[in-house]
């Protein structure tokens, strides 16, 4: 693994295939400076990942305005979210494998968010062939926070798109979104829709289906609710590439995961290793709380108060078959 202090961006993650041959399974850009405005590629996103309606929310009677950077919504923290910040980094000694600690102090009022927010993220490249992400955040005033990693996975090493990747999700419900990709507040079953991955299914089998939920997003860009029996780590997805034999399991303490198939990745985007990307060239499994949570009282809250610690863990575990 290689990591840049710009946005905590993972610029390289190599994983063996069924024959032991290593390949880089994350999309990325040719140079570090190319990651500026690169669609959050394989970077940390926040303060609030995903979308906020009209870039507004009310906290304790005060309305806060976040920059609108995706039409009528605020996306992934505003104009300059955590993906564009330079994080302080230091290696950590860990019996579980090499680890990197990254910290950032987001000042009160940055991008319109209240409170000084101190964030600590630790990436561990575990001996058990897994990438563990641990998040912590504390604040000195009431605020909102929803952190995740926007990794674009391609288990064939980027040689082809991800239509043939087989996906199974431990998620039987989704929060349907409108034309602005914002949730209505409802939680509905995926059964009987092209969003149903409760059984393994090639991503390309239905990604272009004529269904209103897919048409709004131009593919998969949907927040799934994790089926879990209780708190702690729960598996939410299994992604496989039949050609290479690489398999990736996603485990998380978060309540939701956003499935995104790089619908807005421009055709002809220069990538790493001389590759050229476009829509469907990567798939994101962004573990998170639900989009627009500050404006949806029926969703799990992302409010953080002084004296509390926001903490979450996600693990991407790699094997072969």
What is the per-residue pLDDT for 212? 87
Average pLDDT over residues 240-266: 97
Rounded distance between C-alpha atoms, residue 220 and residue 205, angstroms: 12
Q: What is the DSSP letter of 71?
A: T
| pLDDT band, very low/low/confident/very high, at 32 (cuts 50, 70, 90) | confident
pLDDT surpassing 90 at residue 36: no
Average pLDDT over residues 184-203: 97
What is the per-residue pLDDT for 33? 85
Q: Average pLDDT of the chain?
A: 96
Catalytic residues: 150, 286
What is the per-residue pLDDT for 5? 96
pLDDT surpassing 80 at residue 37: no
pLDDT surpassing 90 at residue 35: no
Average pLDDT over residues 12-18: 98
Domains and CATH numbers, the chain: 2-320 (2.70.98.10)
Per the listing, tokens 């319109």 go with: 112
**Reported pTM:** 0.97
pLDDT surpassing 80 at residue 38: no
Work out whether the CA dihedral 93, 35, 263, 225 comes out positive or negative: positive
Rounded distance between C-alpha atoms, residue 87 and residue 7, angstroms: 7
What is the per-residue pLDDT for 69? 94
pLDDT in tens, 162-174: 999 999 999 999 9
| pLDDT band, very low/low/confident/very high, at 269 (cuts 50, 70, 90) | very high
Contact yes or no for 66/56 (Cβ under 8 A): yes
């Amino acid at each position: 693994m290689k990591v840049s202090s710009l946005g905590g961006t993972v610029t390289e993650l190599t994983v063996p295939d069924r024959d032991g041959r290593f390949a880089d399974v994350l999309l990325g850009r040719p140079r570090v400076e190319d990651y500026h405005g690169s669609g959050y590629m394989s970077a940390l996103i926040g303060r609030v990942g995903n979308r906020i309606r009209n870039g507004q929310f009310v906290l304790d009677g005060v309305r806060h305005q976040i920059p609108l950077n995706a039409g009528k919504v605020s996306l992934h923290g505003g104009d300059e979210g955590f993906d564009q910040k330079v994080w302080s980094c230091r290696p950590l000694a860990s019996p579980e494998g090499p680890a990197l600690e990254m910290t950032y102090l987001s000042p009160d009022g940055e991008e319109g968010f209240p409170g000084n927010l101190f964030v600590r993220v630790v990436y561990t490249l575990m001996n058990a062939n897994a990438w563990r992400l641990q998040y912590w955040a504390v604040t000195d005033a009431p605020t909102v926070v929803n952190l995740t990693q926007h990794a674009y996975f391609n288990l064939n090493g980027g040689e082809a798109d991800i239509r043939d990747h087989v996906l199974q999700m431990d998620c039987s419900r989704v929060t349907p979104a409108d034309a602005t990709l914002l949730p209505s507040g409802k939680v509905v079953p995926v059964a009987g829709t092209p969003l149903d991955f409760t059984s393994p299914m090639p991503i390309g089998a239905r990604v272009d289906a004529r269904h209103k939920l897919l048409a709004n997003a131009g593919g998969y860009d949907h927040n799934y609710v994790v089926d879990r029996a209780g708190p702690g780590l729960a598996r939410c997805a299994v992604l496989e590439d039949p050609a290479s034999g690489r398999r990736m399991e996603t485990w998380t303490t978060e309540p939701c995961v956003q499935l995104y198939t790089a619908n807005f990745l421009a055709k002809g985007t220069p990538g790493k290793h001389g590759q050229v990307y476009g829509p469907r060239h990567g798939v994101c499994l962004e573990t998170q709380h639900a989009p627009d949570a500050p404006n949806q009282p029926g969703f799990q809250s992302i409010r953080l108060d002084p004296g509390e610690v926001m903490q979450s863990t996600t693990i991407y575990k790699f094997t072969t078959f």
